[in-house]
Amino acid sequence: MLSFAITVLFTFAGLVGVATVVHCLIGARAAYAQLMREGEVMRAGFALQAAAVEMRLRPAPRRVIAARRAVMPMGPRLPHPACAA
């Protein structure tokens, strides 16, 4: 019974792995086809118009002024050792 459960587990893990690789290959193939189409358009002399989402402005960076910190009172100074051991 234990060997059957282990076999099912490994089979399931293998199927999930294969499905993941196939999904990634399909996505990569679509991205590659889109890049090739865009390359052909660029070689033909046309410029692609950027999507409005890519053109939105980023917020301006905020300038931060360093705040002065209160000076901490120092405790009694400890004597330095004559030599480090």
Spatial distance between the Cα atoms of 52 and 70, rounded to a whole number of angstroms = 48
Q: Is residue 67 part of a domain?
A: no
Q: Which residue has the tokens 């999507």?
A: 51
Q: Which has more confidence, 54 or 65?
A: 65
Q: Is residue 62 part of a domain?
A: no
Q: For the whole model, what pTM was predicted?
A: 0.47
Residues 48, 41: contact at Cβ < 8 Å?
Answer: yes
Residues 35, 43: contact at Cβ < 8 Å?
Answer: no
Q: Is residue 81 part of a domain?
A: no
pLDDT tens column, 3-56: 999 999 999 999 999 999 999 999 999 999 999 998 888 888 887 676 666 566
Where in the sequence is the domain holding 28, given as residue range(s)?
2-55
Q: Is residue 69 part of a domain?
A: no
Distances in Å between the Cα of 84 and the Cα atoms of 76, 78, 80, 81 are 21, 15, 9, 7
